[in-house]
Chains A and B, each alone.
Chain A
Amino acid sequence: MARWGMAIDLDRCTGCQACVVACKQENNVPFSTPAQAEKGRQISWIYIQTEIEGEYPNVKVRFRPMLCQHCDRPPCTFVCPTSATYKNEEGIVAQIYPRCIGCRYCANACPYSVKYFNYDEPHWPKQLEASLNHDVSVRYGGVIEKCTFCSHRLTKAREQADAEGREFRDDDYQPACVQSCPAHAMVFGDLDNPHGTVAAWSESPRAERLLEDLGTKPKVMYLKGGA
């Protein structure tokens, strides 16, 4: 079984937000209205966090794509009263929307604040309804949602490999954000594959995990930005 993980090189990230747009499109994440934004209720499975260091004129801005860290010891799955959120056998922290009761305990327990609650029913401009992705279920009001590492793509890639009568290779599957990154700042793959790029990147001396000291064992690696 693979153990899927991601590595992001912050030196390469330009903060262009292509990953954000690709994710919204791929995963049927609804547009936030200005009213929702004002109340702090936007849903964005991945977003660019800007970290500003220093004061003018010696200012440094860093960008950090923030998404579910797919912890190996996720605080969110422990507290879910109905097992609606759980870690699957390939290490992806998943969410079963029809079982979620909307108590938001997982969202409070997540130290990365990357679980989102549907305060309202999802909404798209009429023209865009036709472009919804049929591989991903549309969530309704009252449930939690989050990044799934585009696990529907994994299912599809496996089926494709089966149909072609060949072995499934871990480069058959990539989440939308990784695929769309123009700066090649993100790589994705099996952390247990010693020859894979993700494994190589995570060996880098620059590699760090976010809030690693909490013991959550995240599977998203960040390669620290240089000076």
Chain B
Amino acid sequence: MPHLDSQQALKQDGAIFRPIMKPTRGYAAIVCALLAVIAWAAYAYWWQLRRGLGMTGLNRPVYWGIYITNFVFFVGVSHAGTLISAILRLCRAEWRRSITRMAEVITVLVLFFGVGNVLLDLGRPDRAFFVITHAHFTSPLLWDVSSISVYLIGSVIYLFLPLIPDLAILRDVATGWRKRVYRLMALGFTGTEQQWHRIEKAISVMAVIIIPIAVTVHTVVSWVFAMTITPMWHSTIFGPYFVVGAIFSGIGALITAMVILRKVYHLEDYLRPIHFNNLGILLLVMCMLWLYFTFAEYLTTWYGHEPIEMTVFYAKIRGPYAPYFWTMFVTCFIIPFSILCNSRTRTITGTFIASLSVNIGMWLERFTIVVPSLSNPRLPVEFHMYHPSWVEWSLMAGCFAAFILLYTLFTKLFPMVSIWEIREGREVAVTETVERIKTYLPMEPKGEVAK
């Protein structure tokens, strides 16, 4: 049980407090730039609201474009946090301590943009609540609404619970309005033995619950496509394929955020090369899993050689969508694999480049799943290449800007590294881990017989 000695925490882990207490210079400039992008996106959305979806580049039969691509992408990135942090917690991976918070925040914030993109895509957003009032449960879209809502609530709880002890520490050291906010949010946590017991129990229960929820979320997202009989959507492996892709892009987003936070907030002591090395290995594993699923998906299609499937297949491999497809292949596999498979390049810079590449690649993957299938329907329809309009690109930029803005705002209010978990690591876990390792080993042969 770590001590809730706030003053000592402030002295020992000052680097974590600094971004919260002292606004860095240049922050205002970044906020202004982000706000400008968001304002432009708001203008674009107003334009689309007034004139309808005709302002997009969509047509018949390509009824879905980059809004749905973004939806799948953002929901995928949301697997960064909660899932990875929950798995690491359950495995008692000690190196998780300084990265869980950063991951969990990504999940909660990015989910809003996942859901938001579906709303942007609606022809009649004013009727979105019909999905609840006139719910039709055979629709995979409704499964999505259900599972994402549960995931969002679960992720918020899972972010909040480990935040409580940190809020208590902040309450004790902060002044002014911040003190009032932290006091309210800390829920009267004072660090008694019973409170510690309860919070640790709650965290471990949530860590178990959140994993199946996260898996269902992306499975159901894939089922929006796989439940139809559209060529190259109607695939049985889409569920696991999407979950793997989600974790892959999630780790990519996490590493990207970690490198930036480390640099900007001088968290070199907390995010050390070993963290990036370990996450890099995890990213490498997901990279190979992604290749495996992609290969399985495309090989079975090609070998079966059904004409209607092959039309979509060739549209991706050598047709109008080939540039997207092959860029995806390079950025999802070639670049990250060649960087990460070598321990000499699996450095902070190396993993950063790999994860940026994965982010781009996974967005393209979602795009090459959504669009080529739609533009090659079963019956001949006049082909019109889908080119997203300025409204769509602006809204996409706005989503990314708004996400970054919210994320940086969070860093200004709450510690991005879990203070109490670091302290727990120092004070309790080091000896505990030694004891645990001993239990893995055969008993000392001296005299005593095992009971």
User: Does chain A bind chain B?
Assistant: yes
User: Contact: B142 with A117, CB < 8 Å?
Assistant: no
A109 to B296, CA, bound (A): 24
Assess whether B379 is in contact with A40, with CB atoms less than 8 Å apart.
no
The minimal Cβ–Cβ distance linking A101 to chain B, given in whole angstroms, is 5
Contact at B384–A79, with CB atoms within 8 Å? no
Q: Would you call A49 and B380 a contact (CB within 8 A)?
A: yes
Q: Tell yes or no: B192 within 8 A of A by CB.
A: no
Contact A141 B128, CB 8 Å, known A79-B227, A83-B136, A107-B63: no
Which residues of the other chain, B, contact A42 by a CB distance below 8 angstroms?
Answer: 60
Q: Write out, one digit per residue, whether chain A residues 49-87 have a CB within 8 A of any chain B CB (1) or not (0).
A: 101000000000000001000000001001111111000
Q: Are A103 and B123 in contact (CB-based, < 8 A)?
A: yes
A116 to B145 CA separation, bound complex (whole angstroms):
25
Query: Closest CB of chain B to A198's CB: distance in Å?
Result: 23
B263 at the binding interface (Cβ < 8 Å): no
Centre residue among B57, B124, B128 by max chain A CB count within 10 A: B124
- Among candidates B63, B123, B384, residue contacting A101 with C-beta atoms closer than 8 Å: B123
Say yes or no: B377 contacts A81, CB within 8 Å. Answer: no
A163 in the interface, Cβ–Cβ < 8 Å? no
A113-B381 contact given A81-B135, A107-B63, CB 8 Å threshold: yes
* Residue A196 at the chain B interface, CB threshold 8 Å: no
Q: Once bound together, how far apart are the Cα atoms of A26 and B206, in whole Å? A: 59
Q: How far apart sit A99 and B128, CA to CA, in the bound complex (Å)?
A: 10
Which of the candidate stretches A118-126, A164-172, A179-187, A200-208 sits at the interface with the other chain?
A: A118-126
Question: How many A residues touch B, CB cutoff 8 Å?
Answer: 41
Given contacts A66-B379, A111-B378, A119-B52, contact A142 B124 (CB under 8 A): yes
Q: A157 at interface (Cβ–Cβ under 8 A)?
A: no
In the assembled complex, B340 has its CB within 8 A of some CB on chain A: no
A residues near B (Cβ < 8 Å) are 39-42, 49, 51, 66, 75, 78-84, 99-105, 107-109, 111-113, 116-121, 141-144, 210-211, 214
Which residue on A lies nearest to B51, using beta carbons?
A120
When C-beta atoms are compared, the residue in chain A nearest to B383 turns out to be A40
Q: What are 19 A-B contacts with C-beta separation under 8 Å?
A: A39-B57, A51-B380, A78-B139, A82-B127, A99-B127, A101-B128, A102-B124, A104-B123, A109-B230, A111-B230, A111-B377, A111-B379, A112-B378, A113-B377, A119-B56, A120-B51, A141-B123, A142-B53, A211-B379
Contact B54 A119 (CB under 8 A): yes
Q: Report yes or no: B378 in contact with A211, Cβ–Cβ below 8 A.
A: yes
Q: Does B374 contact A (CB under 8 A)?
A: yes
Please report whether the interface of chain B is mostly helix, strand, loop or mixed according to DSSP: loop
Give Cα distance in the complex from A51 to B142, angstroms.
Answer: 38
The chain A residue with its CB closest to the CB of B230 is A108
Q: Across the interface, do B59 and A104 meet the contact criterion of CB distance under 8 Å?
A: no
With contacts A101-B128, A101-B131, A108-B228 taken as known, whether A119 is within 8 angstroms of B53 at the C-beta atoms is: yes
Closest Cβ of chain A to B369, distance in Å, is 13
Residues of A within 8 A of B57 (CB): 39
Q: In the complex, which residues of chain B have a beta carbon less than 8 angstroms from the beta carbon of A39? A: 57, 59, 384
Residues of B within 8 A of A41 (CB): 54, 59-60
| Structural contact, B124 and A143, CB atoms closer than 8 A | yes
Residues of A within 8 A of B297 (CB): none
